[in-house]
Amino acid sequence: MEGGNLLEVRGLSKIFDGFAAVSEVTLAIAAGEIAAVIGPNGAGKSTLFNLITGHVRPTSGQVLLGGRDITGMPPHRISGIGIGRSFQRANIFSRLTVFENVQAALLSHRGCGRDFWSRSETFYREEARALLDSTGLLGQAQAIAGTLSYGNQKQIELGIALAGDPKILLLDEPTAGMSAAETRETLALLKRIARERSLTLLFTEHDMEFVFSIAQKIAVMHQGRIVVEGSPATIRADAEVRRIYLGSVQ
């Protein structure tokens, strides 16, 4: 693997009708690293994630996974080779049960395989239960996903993303819309899952307490560009970052 970096973004730009939403972004994430991209609304964070996962085509620049150029690949291929993601708003099948949501994700990643002739409810039963267990949802396996709290729906989304056994997981505002209690639970859950699975995480987040308690590296975006990048201590002390974004965060 090139230089030990799992994910590399090189000079990535996206121009929408003459407007540079992402501009010359260069970023490297090492295997096992937990990295955050922060910045004000409209800074280009979600667009950057969409460029990495193939949901938006870059105007220029490159995305590499394990040294392999994946620029311009369609989203399903990118997810198939190891980049999982969650969205800013929970993206689940709200009429299916919690179990069926995770089971469907396992089926879509691994196919029917030998299970083709078994009854559909038994497909990947053990794997699905293990995923629900690790995301804290086993007790609600038979509940209809859409009836659960928003925090639980985001947990389902996490289970769906993990079903693809990603090398790196991109989380776009994992605590958006959550109560303070749900935010704390999500933080604990992500810390545990990252540790258990040696996951590499790249996330965006507006909750600075969350960012500073989990990220090992922080990149600050402003008007499409990364203006500063460094350790939490570096970012906290940076005058430019304080001016752009952190304001009174201590």
Ligand X SMILES: Nc1ncnc2c1ncn2[C@@H]1O[C@H](COP(=O)(O)OP(=O)(O)OP(=O)(O)O)[C@@H](O)[C@H]1O
- Residues near Mg ion (CB under 5 A) are 45-46
The contact set with ligand X (CB under 6 A) reads 16, 21, 39, 41-47, 88
Cα–Cα distance between 124 and 163 in angstroms, integer?
10
Give min distance, CB of 29 to ligand X, in A. Answer: 18
Q: Name which of ligand X, Mg ion, none residue 166 binds, using a CB cut-off of 5 to 8 Å depending on partner kind.
A: none
Residues contacting 106, CB < 8 A, separation 6+: 123, 124, 127, 128, 131, 163
- 170 backbone φψ class: left, alpha, beta (φ>0; ψ -120 to 50): beta
Q: Name which of ligand X, Mg ion, none residue 142 binds, using a CB cut-off of 5 to 8 Å depending on partner kind.
A: none
Among candidates 154, 156, 151, which has minimal Cα distance to 141?
156
Q: Which is nearer to ligand X, 42 or 139 (CB)?
A: 42
Q: How many CB atoms lie within 10 A of CB 125?
A: 15
Among candidates 120, 125, 136, 135, which has minimal Cα distance to 99?
125
Residues contacting 103, CB < 8 A, separation 6+: 123, 124, 125, 128
Q: Which is nearer to ligand X, 41 or 248 (CB)?
A: 41
Give min distance, CB of 83 to ligand X, in A. Answer: 17
Residue where the block lists tokens 């267990």:
133
Q: Which is nearer to ligand X, 52 or 132 (CB)?
A: 52
Residue sitting closest to Mg ion (CB)? 46
Give min distance, CB of 46 to ligand X, in A. Answer: 3
Give min distance, CB of 176 to Mg ion, in A. Answer: 9
Q: Name which of ligand X, Mg ion, none residue 41 binds, using a CB cut-off of 5 to 8 Å depending on partner kind.
A: ligand X
Give min distance, CB of 169 to ligand X, in A. Answer: 17
